[in-house]
Structure 1
Amino acid sequence: MNAVVRSPSLAQWLAGARQLAHQPPRQPRQPLVVAGQVVGTVAEGFLSQIGLQRLLDKRYKLSNSEHAGDAAWCLEGLAEASPGAITDALNTLAEALRDQGLCGPWRNEQLAVTNPRGEVVGTVERGAVRVLGIASRAVHLVGLTPDGRMWVQKRSMTKPNNPGQWDTLMGGMVSAADSLPQALARETWEEAGLHVNTLADVVHGGHVLFSRPSSEGGGAGYMVERIDWFRAQVPEGAEPRNQDGEVDEFALRSTEVVREHLVQERFTLEAGLVIAAHWGL
């Protein structure tokens, strides 16, 4: 491994980054149960802030009761425990949270909702996943040139999270409508204007896990996320061009410069840990 990558300052940054990636909730959380299945967690008392009439209008009932012997928030009143019914119930709850200003940025994008066995039981609006402690998935792409330099992007200053920070060539959520390869292809085009089939040596490198408090919902959110990351070689002469307005610029950086920017915390935490994994750290 290059001595630059093994530097003491990078090792110190990496230890701190890994600690930040796995932090306990700031306040006690209770399971969120829908149709008898645990799908997330919510801060104690958090759901007491929403107007319950919005749920009752659709015949759903939200109660702070018991599940498996522990206190839990239970969303009841579903006609059946089908994915469609669970999706409608969770999105009704998400809309009530939005109306009270208690969720993250509304994206009109559905993310998959899973039970403790990892089975998809429904979907929910992306803006509600962190306040409801619902696990999400993301995908990142480490883009390299033939001479070993790395393509990185500077996030738009209008991004709700980490504006102006550096990121991998591409990073985005896996929507409920996408498989992992589909998310990789879609996000690579939207963020970098590149078609995956034009890249060389595309490989799945591994994954990075996060469980940490989120500022969404007035600090009552909790992020539970798996980032699957890929690496690929961008052909010489090909340059990324953003398509969705979420990137301010792209740049080619040497390993030394990337290391310096990591230590200076100029990269997002997610991108930093993906790059470290790419380096085998």
Structure 2
Amino acid sequence: MSTHSFDPLSLHAWQSRLSQPPRCPRLPLLLNGQAIGSVEPHLLDQIVPVENGLTQDGFSMQCCPDPAASAASWQITGDGARAFTFLAQALYTANLGFVRQQWRNEALAVRHPDGRQVASAERGIFRLLGMTTQAVHLNGRSADGRLWLQQRALNKATDPGLWDTLMGGMVAATDTLTQALKRETWEEAGIDLAHVQALHAGGHFVVRRPNPVDGGVGYVVEHIDWFEGLLPDTLQPANQDGEVIQFALLAPAHVRTLLLEGQLAAEAACILLGSHFGLNG
């Protein structure tokens, strides 16, 4: 997308930025016959023998040609948990796609296209394998109409130093959306979700784009659910996990300036422009 044509106050422009094809055609990644992700050609060749595949205790993995097309797919058969444990260890050792930099010792759910969880895997390998993640955000406002934003830590893998919604975090393998919202609101903002007033669902969107952390070797597929709520004047956000530089309570005009100056993370821009704060007019 040309920077000359990009309008930072356009929700459509930000949505387009978050909906980009992979840098090259990717091979489907299947678990027991169901698509769960995708990989760049020859990526897994570096850890799995292409000729004969790989057989381990409880699972097997092989690159299978598609006789009806010129493409192929990587197929895992058997115990998904064991397969992803092996893949995580092998990818970490080889540090393919900067897996070590994305490693969090946190398990996320591996899901079939219908949403069923079929396994779990280390968060650090999800982008490289093009597997779908889930995230939650909280848009916090004050009674006088100002917005609470956080400035992301400078050591964050994505969007370091940019401004974001009050809270944004991943949904772990053991979380429901509500559990993730509660946990992440405490970890990032030090706020008990029960004290947020008029809490309600704001919207949902899907991010699909090459992973900026690894130069596009991986592919981000992320479902984001965002919520809005009122923070009483007695609540002051206080980060608990070291991932936030500061919080600021800003008038909509100030947030609009951050948008114009390119100081907002793209996901946050979509959420704020999709809310009812009049930032684009």
- The TM-score by the shorter chain falls in which range? 0.7 to 0.9
User: Residue 122 of structure 2 aligns with which residue?
Assistant: 125
Matches within 5 A, 1:122-201: 122-201=119-198
**How far has the Cα of 1:205 moved from its partner?**
0.9
Kindly indicate whether residue 89 of structure 2 is the aligned counterpart of residue 90 of structure 1.
no
Q: Aligned letter for 2:166?
A: L
Q: Aligned letter for 1:96?
A: A
CA–CA separation in structure 1 for the residues paired with 2:169 and 2:67: 35
CA–CA separation in structure 2 for the residues paired with 1:270 and 1:91: 30
User: Residue 263 of structure 2 aligns with which residue?
Assistant: 266
**How far has the Cα of 1:127 moved from its partner?**
0.6
Q: Aligned letter for 1:101?
A: N
- What SS class does the counterpart of residue 173 from structure 2 fall into? coil
1:99 to 66, 87, 93: 93
Kindly indicate whether residue 25 of structure 2 is the aligned counterpart of residue 63 of structure 1.
no
- Cα-to-partner distance string for 1:36-79 (whole Å, 9 max, x where unaligned): 22111111111112255996554643321146955101123x2x
CA–CA separation in structure 2 for the residues paired with 1:54 and 1:201: 54
User: Residue 3 of structure 2 aligns with which residue?
Assistant: none
CA contact (8 A) 1:190 1:243 kept: yes
**How far has the Cα of 1:92 moved from its partner?**
1.2
Q: Aligned letter for 1:90?
A: F
Q: Percent identity?
A: 41
CA–CA separation in structure 1 for the residues paired with 2:167 and 2:217: 28
Larger mean Cα displacement after TM superposition, 48-57 or 248-257: 48-57
- What SS class does the counterpart of residue 19 from structure 1 fall into? helix
CA–CA separation in structure 2 for the residues paired with 1:195 and 1:55: 47
Q: TM-score, normalised by structure 2?
A: 0.88
* Pair 1:118–1:66, CA change in 2 (3 A): farther
CA–CA separation in structure 1 for the residues paired with 2:156 and 2:53: 30
* Pair 1:243–1:55, CA change in 2 (3 A): farther
User: Residue 45 of structure 2 aligns with which residue?
Assistant: 48
CA contact (8 A) 2:66 2:73 kept: yes
* Pair 1:216–1:63, CA change in 2 (3 A): farther
> Structure 1: where are the runs of 5+ without partners?
1-7, 79-84
1:230 to 227, 237, 240: 227
Larger mean Cα displacement after TM superposition, 149-158 or 30-39: 30-39
- Cα-to-partner distance string for 1:170-208 (whole Å, 9 max, x where unaligned): 000001110000000000000000001011000011112
User: Residue 250 of structure 2 aligns with which residue?
Assistant: 253
State the number of aligned residues. 266
- What SS class does the counterpart of residue 207 from structure 1 fall into? strand
- Cα-to-partner distance string for 1:112-161 (whole Å, 9 max, x where unaligned): 11112221111111111111010111000000000010010011111111
User: Residue 4 of structure 1 aligns with which residue?
Assistant: none
CA contact (8 A) 1:130 1:216 kept: no
CA–CA separation in structure 2 for the residues paired with 1:50 and 1:225: 26
- What SS class does the counterpart of residue 191 from structure 2 fall into? coil
Q: CA RMSD in A?
A: 2.2
CA contact (8 A) 2:54 2:62 kept: no
> Structure 2: where are the runs of 5+ without partners?
1-5
